[in-house]
Protein backbone atom coordinates (compact mmCIF):
# COMPACT_ATOMS: atom_id res chain seq x y z
CA UNK A 1 0.00 0.00 0.00
CA UNK A 2 2.83 2.39 0.87
CA UNK A 3 4.53 1.81 -2.49
CA UNK A 4 1.29 2.43 -4.34
CA UNK A 5 0.73 5.74 -2.51
CA UNK A 6 4.32 6.82 -3.19
CA UNK A 7 3.90 5.97 -6.88
CA UNK A 8 0.67 7.99 -7.04
CA UNK A 9 2.34 10.89 -5.23
CA UNK A 10 5.25 10.75 -7.69
CA UNK A 11 2.86 10.79 -10.66
CA UNK A 12 1.01 13.78 -9.23
CA UNK A 13 4.29 15.65 -8.64
CA UNK A 14 5.42 14.90 -12.20
CA UNK A 15 2.11 16.18 -13.57
CA UNK A 16 2.35 19.36 -11.48
CA UNK A 17 5.94 19.96 -12.61
CA UNK A 18 4.91 19.41 -16.24
CA UNK A 19 2.07 21.90 -15.88
CA UNK A 20 4.42 24.41 -14.27
CA UNK A 21 6.78 24.13 -17.24
CA UNK A 22 3.92 24.62 -19.71
CA UNK A 23 2.66 27.62 -17.74
CA UNK A 24 6.18 29.06 -17.63
CA UNK A 25 6.58 28.65 -21.40
CA UNK A 26 3.21 30.32 -22.07
CA UNK A 27 4.08 33.24 -19.78
CA UNK A 28 7.41 33.73 -21.55
CA UNK A 29 5.65 33.76 -24.94
CA UNK A 30 3.07 36.23 -23.65
CA UNK A 31 5.78 38.51 -22.25
CA UNK A 32 7.69 38.39 -25.53
CA UNK A 33 4.59 39.33 -27.54
CA UNK A 34 3.72 42.15 -25.15
CA UNK A 35 7.23 43.60 -25.21
CA UNK A 36 7.44 43.41 -29.01
CA UNK A 37 4.11 45.23 -29.37
CA UNK A 38 5.32 48.05 -27.15
CA UNK A 39 8.35 48.47 -29.42
CA UNK A 40 6.29 48.69 -32.62
CA UNK A 41 7.26 52.32 -33.06
CA UNK A 42 10.84 53.10 -32.13
CA UNK A 43 12.46 56.50 -31.87
CA UNK A 44 16.11 56.95 -32.73
CA UNK A 45 17.92 60.18 -32.08
CA UNK A 46 21.31 60.67 -33.72
CA UNK A 47 23.68 63.45 -32.83
CA UNK A 48 26.19 63.85 -35.67
CA UNK A 49 29.10 66.23 -36.22
CA UNK A 50 28.74 68.81 -39.00
CA UNK A 51 31.01 66.86 -41.32
CA UNK A 52 28.58 63.90 -41.53
CA UNK A 53 25.31 65.69 -40.72
CA UNK A 54 24.04 66.31 -44.26
CA UNK A 55 24.98 62.84 -45.53
CA UNK A 56 23.32 61.00 -42.63
CA UNK A 57 20.21 63.17 -42.81
CA UNK A 58 19.87 62.59 -46.56
CA UNK A 59 20.42 58.84 -46.15
CA UNK A 60 17.46 58.62 -43.74
CA UNK A 61 15.31 60.77 -46.03
CA UNK A 62 16.04 58.44 -48.96
CA UNK A 63 15.82 55.25 -46.85
CA UNK A 64 13.11 55.90 -44.24
CA UNK A 65 12.95 53.15 -41.62
CA UNK A 66 9.68 51.27 -41.23
CA UNK A 67 7.85 51.82 -37.92
CA UNK A 68 10.46 54.17 -36.50
CA UNK A 69 11.08 57.85 -36.10
CA UNK A 70 14.62 59.07 -36.73
CA UNK A 71 15.78 62.49 -35.65
CA UNK A 72 19.20 63.56 -36.94
CA UNK A 73 20.72 66.56 -35.19
CA UNK A 74 23.96 68.44 -35.67
CA UNK A 75 25.97 68.17 -32.46
CA UNK A 76 27.58 71.55 -33.15
CA UNK A 77 24.16 73.21 -32.75
CA UNK A 78 23.87 72.16 -29.12
CA UNK A 79 24.64 74.55 -26.32
CA UNK A 80 26.41 72.66 -23.58
> What's the number of domains the chain is made of?
2
Name the pTM for this structure: 0.42
64 shares a domain with 29: no
48 shares a domain with 34: no
26 shares a domain with 52: no
pLDDT tens string 20-78:
888 888 777 777 666 655 555 667 777 778 888 888 888 888 888 777 777 888 777 77
| pLDDT score of 40 | 57
Does residue 44 contact residue 66 with C-beta atoms inside 8 Å?
Answer: no
| pLDDT score of 55 | 85
Range of the domain at 23: 1-40
pLDDT tens string 7-18:
888 888 888 888
Amino acid sequence: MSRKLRAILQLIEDNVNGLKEKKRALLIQLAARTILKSFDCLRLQLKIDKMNFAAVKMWFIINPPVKATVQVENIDDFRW
